Chain A
Amino acid sequence: MRTREGEKSMVRGRGAIGKREARGRSALERGTRRFLGALSLVGAGALLLAACSSSSSSSSSVSSAKASSTAVPSGTAVSASTLASIKSTLAKAEQVPTWTAPGPAVSASVLKGKGILVMPINSEIGACNTQAHDFQALGTKLGANVTLFPTSGQPSQWETGIEDAVSAHDAAIVMLCGIIPGAVAPQLQAAESAGIAVVDGNYNETNNYQYLDGETAVEVTQGMQDDVDYAIVHLGNKPVQALMITSNSVIQGPAASAAVSSQISSLCPSRCSVVDTLDVPIQDWATQLESDVDSALVAHPNINAIFIAFDGMTQFVLPAVEQAHRPGLAIYTWGGSRSVEKLMTEPNSLVASDSGPNEDWDAFDAMDQVIRLLGHHPAAPVSKEIDPNRFWIPSNVSQFFGPGDTYGNEGYGGNTFENDFFKLWGVPQLASS
């Protein structure tokens, strides 16, 4: 039975509970308001950060500033004589490259029984993966024990690969496609202490680095310059307004951007420009490239040429270019990857040119350095250990492929360069016709 006192007590109790709940709810509402306020601050902070980074990214966009030549007709990029010179340069670039010996003859017998670790910067990049497999096959043919260490572009993986080679007492480590030595300096130091020769493939665009014993070269700069030349021709000598897409996490990235900027400045200083530059890390190619390019094309309706530093990015850029529905807009890239050359064979392809080296030739260059180092010879100068480009456009890209669209060395002179290397290494019996 409830008494009046009991009821009053219950009411007071409920009231007390109610007041506590009310205090709790208002505390919750205050908390909610505070966090919504925090959300606004974060949003404002993001915009501020974007504004700050946009001023830094804007500064990376290069516009030519030199005075125009009076010999250049209005509305054109270059003069008639310059255009003729460009076409002549391109005609040479489209031919099969010739091999020159990187150094004196050496003997491949030093490889017999030796352990070598080969590691691409990122196995998911087709060209790098193919090089690695070609190197492994070549090493096996020459009597070495080659371990292929696959990676997905993480420096921690590069470190592990080098540590594995040291543990296994390998004779040499070959890093392919421009792994940045600074990212694995302690591991390379350990390799040096263990007497392991280290070759960095495609690292030619920078100065020599401590702990590297040899380097090989690819001509990213020349390739991108040829792309700029071709863009001018392809656009009918209209001024090029370029979007440059690169990946500075790959060692040749900055050189590729610089090549496009310098070639534009050299040929067409006042009418052409690099309107915007996108730098997308390797691990973000698949997920960010499309939206980044979308936004760049929306922001700059005048872009009429897209230069891509590494043709492995192409398939992620293509959807954005297709969706732009911009007549004449095309992709000019570097890499010589089979998948991109295949795209170029399609009707109305948006890929206009792809300058690039041969992955097998790259593998032979790296092996040449290894043979020199393991034979206690000086490494060949990086300027000589070059995997040359061939300039691919729709009119010659059919020569890239072998019978049944296979990928071989047909586009780079067949087995000529392989046979030349085998003769240089004293194993002519391995040469094939």
Chain B
Amino acid sequence: MLPFAWLLVVVGFGADDPSHFLTLANFSTIFGSQAVLFVLTMALLVPLTNGDIDLSVGSLSGLVSMLVVVLNVEHHIAIVWCCLIGLAAGLAAGVLNGVACIRFKADPFIITLGTGTVFAGLTELLSNEQTITGVSSGLTKVIFTDEFLGIPLEFYFGLAIMLVVWYVLTFTPFGQRALFVGQSRDVARLSGFRVDRIRLQGFVVAGFVSAIAGIFFVGTTGSASPGTGSQLLLPAYAAAFLGLTTIQPGRFNAIGSGIAVYFLATGVAGLELLGAQNYVQDLFYGAILVIAVIISRLLAMRRFGRGTA
């Protein structure tokens, strides 16, 4: 359904403005400009499969991006080490989220909302509330400036991450366990699954992949700003829930979510070419999220209905 909807959007906008919409330049910018969101959406999938919500991924990616920039620009640390430190920070944040939710049996929605706010505050502290620019050109070259088929390499890195997440969730015992835990924690526990460990792993993976998204942001803009990451949270969730409706309907899946990211990006690009104001984009994202959640519930109810026959 979603690939068909995407095709419909392409055909629709293409018919309206073929000379601008149906161009290599337009599709290059669509694919190239959404890499950070693409990766951030992948970060959500493992905890969502486990049945957990992680609202800190956006702020965490912002924190990691600021950490990388501050270390490189103000402390003159080599960019490779800065990225490694950023990834380690992402892992640590994931562990923090996991321990806080699991050890204290707290609602992940509330805990990650709180930790997300903490990460946003730390970002402002690190940056002294300023945008910092001037990061090493080596990172921007590898992430953004270098292109293949006219699209920045970050798109292909994001594609690779999507395929890894898809493979892990679909074909590995880790993925199967995550699915089982997400379907019913009590049944999983009674079946002998180490539910707490599986959930912790989900948060850790989310932290690590969010950190990658933060590094991609730095590579794209050559800078970091406070408050950036948290603005990507809604679009990332919109894409993850919209991805539920395709490829493996009813299950959070990487390929479906990837298609959803670019369906949304294509829709927004088309609206921008039509001259839509920014608020129309917000309406579009919000409406798609609501509709995606409703469709996913209908699909779940339909599956439940078949299951009782």
Task: Report which A residues bind B (CB closer than 8 A).
Answer: 18, 21, 24-25, 28-29, 31-32, 35-36, 38-39, 42, 46-47, 49-51, 53-58, 123-126, 129-130, 150, 152, 279-281, 283-288, 290-292, 294-299, 312, 315-316, 318-320, 322-324, 339, 342-343
B275 adjacent to A315 (CB under 8 Å):
no
B273 adjacent to A53 (CB under 8 Å):
no
A53 adjacent to B228 (CB under 8 Å):
no
Other-chain contact of A28, B129, B222, B281, B305 (Cβ < 8 Å): B305
The 6 closest A-B pairs by CB, nearest first: A54-B275, A295-B272, A50-B276, A123-B129, A294-B29, A286-B228
B270-287 contact mask (Cβ, 8 Å, vs A): 1 or 0: 011111111111011001
Residues of chain A lying within 8 A (CB to CB) of residue B221: 286, 290, 315-316, 318-319
A295 adjacent to B29 (CB under 8 Å):
yes
The closest CB in chain A to the CB of B33 belongs to A291
Other-chain contact of B284, A46, A288, A290, A322 (Cβ < 8 Å): A46
Given the known interface contacts A295-B273, A315-B131, the answer about A323 and B152 at a Cβ–Cβ threshold of 8 Å is yes
Other-chain contact of B33, A28, A50, A54, A294 (Cβ < 8 Å): A294
Other A-B contacts than A290-B220, A298-B273, A339-B223, 11 sampled, CB-CB below 8 A, are A29-B302, A50-B275, A54-B276, A57-B277, A126-B130, A129-B128, A287-B232, A299-B273, A315-B221, A319-B33, A323-B32
B131 adjacent to A298 (CB under 8 Å):
no
Chain B CB within 10 Å — which of A29, A152, A283 has the most? A152
Can you identify 28 A-B contacts, CB atoms within 8 angstroms?
A28-B301, A31-B298, A35-B298, A38-B291, A46-B284, A46-B287, A49-B276, A50-B275, A53-B275, A53-B279, A124-B130, A126-B130, A126-B131, A279-B277, A287-B228, A291-B269, A295-B26, A295-B269, A298-B23, A298-B26, A299-B17, A312-B131, A315-B222, A315-B223, A320-B33, A323-B32, A339-B134, A343-B133
The closest CB in chain B to the CB of A346 belongs to B137
Alpha-carbon distance A36/B124, docked complex (angstroms): 43
Residues of chain A lying within 8 A (CB to CB) of residue B23: 298
- CB proximity of A296 to chain B, nearest CB, Å: 8
Residues of chain A lying within 8 A (CB to CB) of residue B276: 49-50, 53-54, 57
**B308 within 8 A of partner (CB):** yes
The closest CB in chain A to the CB of B271 belongs to A50
Alpha-carbon distance A402/B262, docked complex (angstroms): 46
B294 adjacent to A35 (CB under 8 Å):
yes
Other-chain contact of B231, A53, A280, A283, A343 (Cβ < 8 Å): A283
Residues of chain B lying within 8 A (CB to CB) of residue A320: 29, 33
A288 adjacent to B271 (CB under 8 Å):
no
B278 adjacent to A281 (CB under 8 Å):
yes
Chain A CB within 10 Å — which of B28, B130, B145, B223 has the most? B130
Residues of chain B lying within 8 A (CB to CB) of residue A296: 272
Alpha-carbon distance A292/B227, docked complex (angstroms): 19
- CB proximity of A5 to chain B, nearest CB, Å: 25
The closest CB in chain A to the CB of B145 belongs to A322
- CB proximity of B94 to chain A, nearest CB, Å: 23
B272 adjacent to A21 (CB under 8 Å):
no
Other-chain contact of B272, A35, A286, A292 (Cβ < 8 Å): A292
- CB proximity of B279 to chain A, nearest CB, Å: 8
The closest CB in chain B to the CB of A50 belongs to B276
**B225 within 8 A of partner (CB):** yes
- CB proximity of A149 to chain B, nearest CB, Å: 12
A24 adjacent to B20 (CB under 8 Å):
no
Alpha-carbon distance A360/B152, docked complex (angstroms): 40
**B295 within 8 A of partner (CB):** yes
**B90 within 8 A of partner (CB):** no
Other-chain contact of B275, A25, A38, A46, A58 (Cβ < 8 Å): A58
- CB proximity of B11 to chain A, nearest CB, Å: 13
Residues of chain A lying within 8 A (CB to CB) of residue B32: 323
B224-241 contact mask (Cβ, 8 Å, vs A): 1 or 0: 011110011000000000
Residues of chain A lying within 8 A (CB to CB) of residue B277: 53, 56-57, 279
Task: Report which B residues bind A (CB closer than 8 A).
Answer: 12, 17, 20, 23, 25-26, 28-29, 32-34, 124, 128-134, 144-145, 152, 220-223, 225-228, 231-232, 265, 267-269, 271-281, 283-284, 287, 291, 294-295, 298, 301-302, 305-306, 308-309
The closest CB in chain A to the CB of B13 belongs to A47
Given the known interface contacts A21-B309, A315-B223, A322-B145, the answer about A129 and B129 at a Cβ–Cβ threshold of 8 Å is yes
Residues of chain A lying within 8 A (CB to CB) of residue B124: 123-124, 150, 152
Residues of chain A lying within 8 A (CB to CB) of residue B279: 53
A319 adjacent to B144 (CB under 8 Å):
yes
Alpha-carbon distance A426/B129, docked complex (angstroms): 34
B274 adjacent to A54 (CB under 8 Å):
yes
How many contacts A-B (CB < 8 Å)?
Answer: 164
- CB proximity of B20 to chain A, nearest CB, Å: 5
Residues of chain B lying within 8 A (CB to CB) of residue A312: 131
Given the known interface contacts A315-B131, A339-B131, A339-B134, the answer about A50 and B305 at a Cβ–Cβ threshold of 8 Å is no
- CB proximity of B37 to chain A, nearest CB, Å: 9
B29 adjacent to A323 (CB under 8 Å):
yes
B298 adjacent to A21 (CB under 8 Å):
no
Residues of chain A lying within 8 A (CB to CB) of residue B152: 323
The closest CB in chain B to the CB of A53 belongs to B277
Alpha-carbon distance A49/B284, docked complex (angstroms): 10
B287 adjacent to A152 (CB under 8 Å):
no
B275 adjacent to A42 (CB under 8 Å):
no
The closest CB in chain A to the CB of B120 belongs to A152
Given the known interface contacts A53-B275, A319-B220, the answer about A28 and B298 at a Cβ–Cβ threshold of 8 Å is yes
Alpha-carbon distance A51/B275, docked complex (angstroms): 8
Chain B CB within 10 Å — which of A49, A298, A343 has the most? A298
- CB proximity of B10 to chain A, nearest CB, Å: 13
Alpha-carbon distance A124/B66, docked complex (angstroms): 13
B28 adjacent to A286 (CB under 8 Å):
no
Given the known interface contacts A50-B271, A129-B128, A298-B25, the answer about A288 and B294 at a Cβ–Cβ threshold of 8 Å is no
The closest CB in chain A to the CB of B231 belongs to A287
B134 adjacent to A342 (CB under 8 Å):
yes
B274 adjacent to A284 (CB under 8 Å):
no
The closest CB in chain B to the CB of A340 belongs to B133
Residues of chain A lying within 8 A (CB to CB) of residue B302: 25, 28-29, 32
A46 adjacent to B283 (CB under 8 Å):
yes
Other-chain contact of B131, A31, A38, A124, A323 (Cβ < 8 Å): A124
Alpha-carbon distance A123/B284, docked complex (angstroms): 30
Residues of chain B lying within 8 A (CB to CB) of residue A343: 133
Given the known interface contacts A284-B231, A286-B227, the answer about A299 and B220 at a Cβ–Cβ threshold of 8 Å is no
- CB proximity of A350 to chain B, nearest CB, Å: 11
Residues of chain A lying within 8 A (CB to CB) of residue B17: 299
The closest CB in chain A to the CB of B144 belongs to A319
Chain A CB within 10 Å — which of B28, B225, B294 has the most? B225
